[in-house]
Structure 1
Amino acid sequence: MSEVHAARRSRLRSRCSPAGSVAALVSRPANVRYLAGSAPSGGSGPCEVPPGAALLVSHAGDDVLFGHWNPARDPAGPQPGEDGGLRAVTLDGDADPAVAAAEWAARDGAEILAVEEHHLTVARHRDVAAAASGMKLADLGCAVEGQRLVKDEEEIAALRVAAEITDRALGELLESILVGRTERHLALELERRLVDHGADGPAFSTSVATGSHSGLAGHRPTDRRVEEGDFLTVRLGARFRGYRCQIGRTFVIGTSPADWQIELYEVVFAAQRAAREALTPGAEYREVDRAARNVLAAAGHSTALGPVTGRGVGLEIGEDPRLSPAAMGRLGPCVPVTVEPGVHLPGRGGVRIDDTLVVRSPADGGPELLTITTKELLAL
């Protein structure tokens, strides 16, 4: 993959080059991971990029990754040499990788240093500016996030594996006895199952919500126990090779759902289906959002949907694009997104249905559904 990451850095360099002798300092962790992948290693395999690392994409093409490597995790550490045009530099003590990158760029003769102002704190930006002696500081903006928007086939393959792991973990949980178990216990079990099936870890904090908690977005599991007649909402995702997916499903505990549960579930399912069907190249972000909101509004739940119907996924949950009422832009092919409408009725509970999909053209079969666990309202 070193060639892939080198090509990504080259695209970023080309974007900066019209402004002159520009070096780009990348500090946002997901962006560093996207451009560097891993560091060249002195051991049998590549080193993981350490937390807090910074990447200097040089105007001259000699890119450098700065960081504090953990000997316990990477005993051999990064090589002093290069891999695919990337050099790794190990820092000592409390040295700030972003400051070290700025000092390197100054010595390297760059005239302008473009930094990710949306990621740096004020204090850190001040330190970088002090280190960038003789250089002008500019804002790199969201240039790397823009590159990350459309995924290549290697990235989509990682997302597929993450989705397969997630589906397996959820499917196994549904075969177990749930009544009497707490939300917290079920969430921990799901995360253990993700790792057992090959995930690097959970993509985000697993949410299990039962009874009056069900349907709440971002609910943190509690010690509430699952009871007969409850709605049970589960939201989870696996992280595989850095890439993350999301699934959300709602079930009924007991022999059969109540009429109000069936009605609410059908409304949310229809909203989710409408949004999924709107995922075509060229569709406006807000049109996808509107497709779901219109269904919910017609059923009397106009205020139920949160700020977004869906969001981009990849190295992060919540990347661009945002499928929201005010979002500007249009979908392109090979853009992975979630579709995640929900309705919560205070004191009663609610329904959420989340999927991860990849935007594809109708000629390619339409949106590719990655999370395939049934959306039928199961009674468990």
Structure 2
Amino acid sequence: MDRIKELLEKLKEQKLEGIFLTKESNVNYISNFSDEAAFALICEKGNFLITDGRFTELAESLCKGFTIVNWHKFDRNLQKAVAIVCKENEINKLGFEKTHMTFDVYKKLENEAKSLDIELIPTEGLVEELRYIKDSEEIENLRKACKIADKALEELLPYIKPGISENDLAAKLEYYMKVNGAQSIGFETILISGSKTSLPHGKPNNKVIENGDFVTIDFGALYNGYISDMTRTFVVGQPSEEQIKVYNLVKDAQEVGLNSLKPGICSKVPDDNIREIIKEYEKFYYPGIGHGVGRELHEQPFLGNYGTKIIEAGCVITVEPGLYIPGWGGVRIEDTVLVKEEGIEILTHFSKDLIILK
């Protein structure tokens, strides 16, 4: 319940009597709920998980310290349920997540709130600030998600050869993640080959792997609500000198980025240092070189030339520099990394040496 205590302290600072959470990752973080279609209302007098009849039994088993509210019993009106819970718990100033509530939901809630003299006050980032530093349980979940991804890629490797399609490989990889313990995939798998590897977020299709292709795989496993994120790039058949050169440059750049991470630095610093390594190819460099990862794939802090956050011990961050040369191909190497008081722990362990697949 420490998370709730910390959130209540933030509410006091902003002179709020309660907060209505609508963002799924924030609801799940604060309540331990593990599914969709749920909302949370937190106040001094109690904690409420608001869902419908499909999920009440699950919520009762998972959300200890919460009163479960089935909004279908309030004339199937979510906003009415929220307003009545507020009135019953003497909440006259209710915060809401302004960047995560749709206009339609807001207007309906506003109508219900007005009828009961409840003031709606927009907030931003209150729960995200709590999620910035991961606790020991979160870190263990992320370690497990990374371990599953490592194992799945190891099992996929023998199938990466000429003649197999990107779609076939992506399906096998996602299967191996699930049989190794993932709840699901963490995000849509990027598995691309040949000149398509110049697309940072290219999508797999029926293109078949050919000799001389780079194969870039960016993927992650979802475990207990937490997401791993890893990218590896391989060569099928004999690599060219240019492929070896670009690959090694990215590998060196990633090492510099990893070595830059420590508590107290600005999230812009790793990008500054990487640019010194890739000067010759800088026009092919994408400056977004990493991001926080946890219950969401992309969280603060974001690493890049636009970074403003201060890295702290307990942040879990990806480091993923890449070079993307249109019409030729590209290389990205990415790890999920835990920042510690002294040094870092790389949570994704698959080899980063250039692997040549025959």
Return the TM-score normalized by structure 2: 0.94
Higher helix share goes to which structure?
Answer: 2
Look up the match of 1:45: none
Deviations 1:291-339 (A, max 9, x none): 223322x22x223233411000000100111112122121000100001
Report the Cα distance in structure 2 between the residues aligned to 1:373 and 1:356, rounded to whole angstroms. 11
Unaligned residue ranges in structure 2 (runs of 5+): none
Look up the match of 1:160: 143
* Structure 1 segment 344-363 matched on structure 2, within 5 A: 344-362=324-342
One-letter code aligned to 1:266: N
Match of 1:303, SS state, is helix
**Partner of residue 251 from structure 1, selected from 234, 252, 262:** 234
1:64 counterpart = 2:74: no
* Structure 1 segment 1-380 matched on structure 2, within 5 A: 6-20=1-15, 22-38=17-33, 48-49=34-35, 51-60=36-45, 62-70=46-54, 76=57, 78-79=59-60, 84-92=64-72, 95=76, 97=78, 100-132=81-113, 133-254=116-237, 256-296=238-278, 298-299=279-280, 301-362=281-342, 366-380=343-357
Report the Cα distance in structure 1 between the residues aligned to 2:296 and 2:322, rounded to whole angstroms. 21
Report the Cα distance in structure 2 between the residues aligned to 1:96 and 1:295, rounded to whole angstroms. 57
Check the 8 A contact 2:271/2:287 in 1, yes or no.
Answer: no
Cα distance change of structure 1 residues 77 and 205 upon mapping to structure 2, 3 Å threshold: closer
One-letter code aligned to 1:27: T
Report the Cα distance in structure 2 between the residues aligned to 1:348 and 1:101, rounded to whole angstroms. 55
Check the 8 A contact 1:55/1:101 in 2, yes or no.
Answer: no
Check the 8 A contact 1:150/1:334 in 2, yes or no.
Answer: yes
Match of 1:178, SS state, is coil
The Cα shift of 1:235 comes to 0.8
Check the 8 A contact 1:248/1:340 in 2, yes or no.
Answer: yes
Report the Cα distance in structure 2 between the residues aligned to 1:304 and 1:379, rounded to whole angstroms. 23
Report the Cα distance in structure 1 between the residues aligned to 2:62 and 2:315, rounded to whole angstroms. 32
Cα distance change of structure 1 residues 194 and 22 upon mapping to structure 2, 3 Å threshold: same
Count of aligned pairs between the two proteins: 354
Report the Cα distance in structure 2 between the residues aligned to 1:339 and 1:21, rounded to whole angstroms. 37
Match of 1:373, SS state, is coil
One-letter code aligned to 1:337: I
Report the Cα distance in structure 2 between the residues aligned to 1:101 and 1:135, rounded to whole angstroms. 11
Report the Cα distance in structure 2 between the residues aligned to 1:110 and 1:272, rounded to whole angstroms. 50
Match of 2:208, SS state, is coil
The Cα shift of 1:78 comes to 4.4
Check the 8 A contact 2:302/2:309 in 1, yes or no.
Answer: no
Tell me whether 92-101 or 110-119 shows the greater mean CA deviation.
92-101
Check the 8 A contact 1:289/1:310 in 2, yes or no.
Answer: no
One-letter code aligned to 2:131: R
Match of 1:165, SS state, is helix
Return the TM-score normalized by structure 1: 0.88
One-letter code aligned to 1:135: I
The Cα shift of 1:68 comes to 2.0
Report the Cα distance in structure 2 between the residues aligned to 1:12 and 1:26, rounded to whole angstroms. 11
The Cα shift of 1:250 comes to 0.5
The Cα shift of 1:22 comes to 1.1
Report the Cα distance in structure 2 between the residues aligned to 1:98 and 1:191, rounded to whole angstroms. 38
Match of 1:302, SS state, is helix
The Cα shift of 1:85 comes to 2.3
Tell me whether 89-98 or 224-233 shows the greater mean CA deviation.
89-98
Report the Cα distance in structure 1 between the residues aligned to 2:322 and 2:300, rounded to whole angstroms. 21
The Cα shift of 1:20 comes to 4.1
Report the Cα distance in structure 2 between the residues aligned to 1:77 and 1:287, rounded to whole angstroms. 44
One-letter code aligned to 1:103: I
The Cα shift of 1:83 comes to 5.6
Report the Cα distance in structure 1 between the residues aligned to 2:297 and 2:22, rounded to whole angstroms. 18
Check the 8 A contact 2:49/2:59 in 1, yes or no.
Answer: no
One-letter code aligned to 1:146: E
Unaligned residue ranges in structure 1 (runs of 5+): 1-5, 39-47
Report the Cα distance in structure 1 between the residues aligned to 2:76 and 2:259, rounded to whole angstroms. 50
Report the Cα distance in structure 2 between the residues aligned to 1:185 and 1:240, rounded to whole angstroms. 23
Q: CA RMSD in A?
A: 1.9
**Aligned-pair identity (%):** 31
